[in-house]
A and B are shown apart, each in its own frame.
Chain A
Amino acid sequence: MLRLAFLAPVVWLLCSCNRAPEKSLTIAVNAGVEGTALKTAAKEWGAAHGVKIEVVELPYANLFEKEQLDLSSRTGAYDVIMIDDPWFPRMADGLAALPHEPDADFIASCVAVTRAGGKTLALPYVGNSQLFFYRKDLFAKYKMDAPKTWDDVLAGAKKIGESEKMYGYVMRAAAGNAVVADFMPLLWAFGGDVLDASQKPVVDSPAAIDALRFMLQLGKYSPPGYAGFNADEVSAHLLQSTALMSINWPAWIAAMDDPAKSKVVDKIDFIPMPGERAPGVGELGTWLIAVPAASKHSADAFDFLFWSTDAPQQKQAALRGNPPTRRSVFQSPDLVGKFRAFPAQLAALESARPRPRTKLWNEIENTFGIYLSKANAGAMDPAAALHAASEEIAQILQRAR
């Protein structure tokens, strides 16, 4: 009897192994609008091709952990994965090369972040880059032009903010990714950077210190406690008409024009990033899709990858709320009529800069973010904060050598 109890599962397992394998794809997506569009597309593709689709939807931080573990241990748990572009340098070693190159309709800045070691390892799925959100109605009321420089931003924040009794500016300054994302456009506009060409930290250069001092000046016109703000707090201030301007991501554009959520419908304009000493550029935040090298269904996975990023599917994804990564889709007349920010998004995306392409970016960003957040919270002087950040980033780079 006891032997039978152990034998039965073994027989069942052997029988299962002899069955013809079912065609299936397991897809890891980000829990959010970007992932929802890919999830819907995957189900449509699966139904049309007779492939069972299993979608693993994970919050941003967990998605990175799970994918990184799968890639490093080569378990082949996922056949298609969504990757935020700063993760790409760390994950590149575990990805399979595309069977052919992407076509020229893809926006160059989006494709540039999919290459490593002379190979293209992913396709850009969501064309995200930062935009500058400002209240066009109030700028018109005070006869001011749309801000072209950060000095214009400061002047507008002071004049309109004080007159309208609202916060002139609002920014994300919570430690980590949030504060770094909102500081990068300022840093680049002032002529600074995180790493130089030889991969040495330059976050305490005079240009970087000027940029941080400028950020603190903007902070005087920001709501109290902004040093702990993340995207939801920043957008809440814009939606509630309590703040005049901010850097923001395309995902929030729809909410600004949604009467159910917004008090500022059609009052906000979206423009490319202001410049200062250098032309303005926003940070690139493109979502990529790729096939892990350990995938057991790579042929189907690549079919899906190319299908979901072709022009008709990108159009569908745009209608589901995802900014496309193809020029032709951004310029499609019916979409431009539907999404008024598309011309500005295209311009911003074409000029957008990726975060430094290093495997250590997560650690560098965390350290940099801690000191930027401390300076914004008034706990450290800007120069001292950036010197300390530079010292710690140098240690991170040193340890990795």
Chain B
Amino acid sequence: MNTRVTSEKPRHSWRRLPQGFWWTLPSIVVLIALSIYPMIYSVRLAFGDLGNFTRLISDRTFGIATVQTIVLTAVALAAEFVLGLALALLVDSLSRAKSIFRAGLLVPMLLPPVVAAVAWRLIYNPQFGVLNGTLRQLGVNTSALTWTNGHNSALLSVIVVDIWEWTPFLFLLLSAGLQAIPPDPIEAARIDGAGPWRLFRDVTLPLLKPTILLALLLRAMDLVRIFDQIFILTQGGPGTATETVSLYIYRTAFRFSNFGYAAAMSFVLLAATMLFSRGLMRVMRAR
């Protein structure tokens, strides 16, 4: 009689799973609960009623918010890139005190965006703010300088705050990129008689291209969903002068409780960001 065979219990299939699975299970559950389930739920909300997408076409505020988001992203990104690169080159060319300059330039970026926006709101106050106060001391008539409160100046004022706060981010990345460039090609170009402009255009810039691409991509994605500064500085006003897509999505979801329409706008924003990122990568790779 073969007792050995009958006494062996079959092992449950879950016991055959590797031990690592059990240790990672909590993370998998959290990931599903906090990322995957909400994503599926938002797809259902947005696409459950296709009217959400047709409404986008006739929604004047969404149109205005889209144009303004594009303008804000383009202007701020260009300015932050040019200033960030200039500062990175300048600090890189210094023979000493580089770390002091680097640390000092990073201060605006270290502030929480809400704190920076509150500070700038006080700075921009037309009557009691330090900006107009200083200009008045210099003899400038500030009666028309209403900054974030002016219909024509509000968007530009918001862009200035973003440039102030986030140029250090581009400076930081580009600075790291410059330091990673090997000295040999630069030395070789110098020996061949290349001047500073030629050196920058034909050696530094091409070698910096991967860092530039990464910096522009990260910053552009962040700019497209800009929210904190505008929420504190203008709440999208005066009128719709500083309304952006993310602010409009927030209002639609949490003030008007229209989650389906807000989800539809979020998917459009996501698609636009992905297209833009892909386009930017192609342009950069082509050059």
- A and B are partners in one complex rather than unrelated chains: yes
Chain A residues in the interface with B (C-beta under 8 A): 2, 6, 61, 64-65, 68, 72, 90, 173-176, 223-229, 233, 236-237, 240, 242, 360, 362-363, 366, 370-371, 373-374, 376-380, 392, 399
B149 touches A2 (CB 8 A): no
A366 touches B251 (CB 8 A): yes
Query: Does B77 have its Cβ within 8 Å of any Cβ on chain A?
Result: no
Bound together, the chains give a CA A380 to CA B235 distance in angstroms of 19
Report A-chain residues with C-beta under 8 Å of the C-beta of B42: none
Query: Does B19 have its Cβ within 8 Å of any Cβ on chain A?
Result: yes
8 shortest interchain CB distances as A-B pairs: A228-B149, A225-B146, A175-B237, A225-B149, A374-B239, A377-B151, A377-B238, A225-B126
Bound together, the chains give a CA A392 to CA B235 distance in angstroms of 20
Report B-chain residues with C-beta under 8 Å of the C-beta of A72: 257
Given contacts A64-B255, A226-B149, contact A175 B22 (CB under 8 A): no
B254 touches A65 (CB 8 A): yes
Q: Which residue of A lies closest to B147 (CB)?
A: A225
Bound together, the chains give a CA A68 to CA B256 distance in angstroms of 10
Given contacts A225-B149, A363-B256, contact A370 B240 (CB under 8 A): yes
Bound together, the chains give a CA A362 to CA B144 distance in angstroms of 32
B236 touches A227 (CB 8 A): no
Report A-chain residues with C-beta under 8 Å of the C-beta of B197: none
Q: Which residue of B lies closest to A399 (CB)?
A: B55
A366 touches B254 (CB 8 A): no
B126 touches A223 (CB 8 A): yes
Bound together, the chains give a CA A374 to CA B152 distance in angstroms of 11
Given contacts A175-B238, A225-B146, A374-B238, contact A392 B60 (CB under 8 A): yes
B238 touches A90 (CB 8 A): no
Given contacts A227-B149, A233-B125, A236-B128, contact A362 B256 (CB under 8 A): yes
Report A-chain residues with C-beta under 8 Å of the C-beta of B61: 370
B240 touches A374 (CB 8 A): yes
Q: How far is the CB of A324 from chain B (nearest CB, A)?
A: 29
B235 touches A374 (CB 8 A): no
Q: How far is the CB of A91 from chain B (nearest CB, A)?
A: 10
B254 touches A2 (CB 8 A): no
Q: Which residue of A lies closest to B25 (CB)?
A: A6
Report B-chain residues with C-beta under 8 Å of the C-beta of A64: 254-255
Report B-chain residues with C-beta under 8 Å of the C-beta of A2: 19, 22
Report A-chain residues with C-beta under 8 Å of the C-beta of B257: 68, 72, 90, 362
Q: How far is the CB of A285 from chain B (nearest CB, A)?
A: 17
Report A-chain residues with C-beta under 8 Å of the C-beta of B148: 228
Bound together, the chains give a CA A226 to CA B238 distance in angstroms of 10
A228 touches B19 (CB 8 A): no
Query: Does B127 have its Cβ within 8 Å of any Cβ on chain A?
Result: yes
Query: Does B159 have its Cβ within 8 Å of any Cβ on chain A?
Result: no
A175 touches B146 (CB 8 A): no
Bound together, the chains give a CA A370 to CA B239 distance in angstroms of 4
Report A-chain residues with C-beta under 8 Å of the C-beta of B125: 233
B150 touches A377 (CB 8 A): yes
**24 CB < 8 A contacts A-B:** A2-B22, A6-B22, A64-B255, A68-B254, A175-B235, A175-B236, A175-B237, A175-B240, A223-B126, A224-B126, A224-B144, A225-B150, A226-B149, A227-B149, A227-B238, A366-B251, A370-B239, A370-B240, A373-B237, A373-B238, A377-B239, A378-B151, A379-B151, A379-B241
Query: Does B244 have its Cβ within 8 Å of any Cβ on chain A?
Result: no
Query: Does B99 have its Cβ within 8 Å of any Cβ on chain A?
Result: no
Query: Does B143 have its Cβ within 8 Å of any Cβ on chain A?
Result: yes
Query: Does B234 have its Cβ within 8 Å of any Cβ on chain A?
Result: yes
Count, A-B residue pairs, CB within 8 A: 101
Q: Which residue of A lies closest to B157 (CB)?
A: A228
Q: How far is the CB of A243 from chain B (nearest CB, A)?
A: 10
Beyond the given A174-B234, A224-B126, A227-B238, could you list 19 further A-B residue pairs with CB under 8 A, ordered by the A residue number? A2-B19, A2-B22, A6-B22, A65-B254, A90-B257, A174-B235, A175-B236, A225-B126, A225-B149, A225-B150, A226-B149, A227-B237, A228-B238, A237-B127, A362-B256, A363-B255, A370-B61, A371-B239, A379-B241
Bound together, the chains give a CA A72 to CA B251 distance in angstroms of 17
Q: How far is the CB of B142 from chain A (nearest CB, A)?
A: 8
Q: How far is the CB of A253 from chain B (nearest CB, A)?
A: 21
Bound together, the chains give a CA A37 to CA B146 distance in angstroms of 37
Bound together, the chains give a CA A39 to CA B116 distance in angstroms of 30
| Chain B 232-262 interface 0/1 with A at a Cβ cutoff of 8 Å (1 = within) | 0011111111000000000100111110000
Bound together, the chains give a CA A377 to CA B146 distance in angstroms of 11
Bound together, the chains give a CA A277 to CA B119 distance in angstroms of 43
Query: Does B87 have its Cβ within 8 Å of any Cβ on chain A?
Result: no
Bound together, the chains give a CA A207 to CA B148 distance in angstroms of 31
A377 touches B241 (CB 8 A): yes
The residues in B between 115 and 140 inclusive whose CB is less than 8 angstroms from any CB of A are 125-128
Q: How far is the CB of A177 from chain B (nearest CB, A)?
A: 9
Bound together, the chains give a CA A64 to CA B256 distance in angstroms of 10
B143 touches A176 (CB 8 A): no
Bound together, the chains give a CA A72 to CA B257 distance in angstroms of 10
A224 touches B22 (CB 8 A): no
B237 touches A174 (CB 8 A): yes
A240 touches B254 (CB 8 A): no
Q: Which residue of B lies closest to A378 (CB)?
A: B151
Query: Does B154 have its Cβ within 8 Å of any Cβ on chain A?
Result: yes
B239 touches A242 (CB 8 A): no
The residues in B between 81 and 107 inclusive whose CB is less than 8 angstroms from any CB of A are none
Bound together, the chains give a CA A392 to CA B256 distance in angstroms of 14
Q: Which residue of A lies closest to B61 (CB)?
A: A370
Bound together, the chains give a CA A128 to CA B128 distance in angstroms of 29
Q: How far is the CB of A359 from chain B (nearest CB, A)?
A: 9
Given contacts A227-B238, A233-B125, A237-B127, contact A362 B255 (CB under 8 A): yes
B255 touches A61 (CB 8 A): yes
A240 touches B238 (CB 8 A): no
Q: How far is the CB of B260 from chain A (nearest CB, A)?
A: 11
Report B-chain residues with C-beta under 8 Å of the C-beta of A363: 255-256, 258
Report A-chain residues with C-beta under 8 Å of the C-beta of B146: 224-225, 227-228
Bound together, the chains give a CA A156 to CA B4 distance in angstroms of 107
Most buried by B among A65, A175, A228, A378: A228
Report B-chain residues with C-beta under 8 Å of the C-beta of A240: 128
Report B-chain residues with C-beta under 8 Å of the C-beta of A236: 127-128
Bound together, the chains give a CA A348 to CA B94 distance in angstroms of 68
Bound together, the chains give a CA A363 to CA B127 distance in angstroms of 32
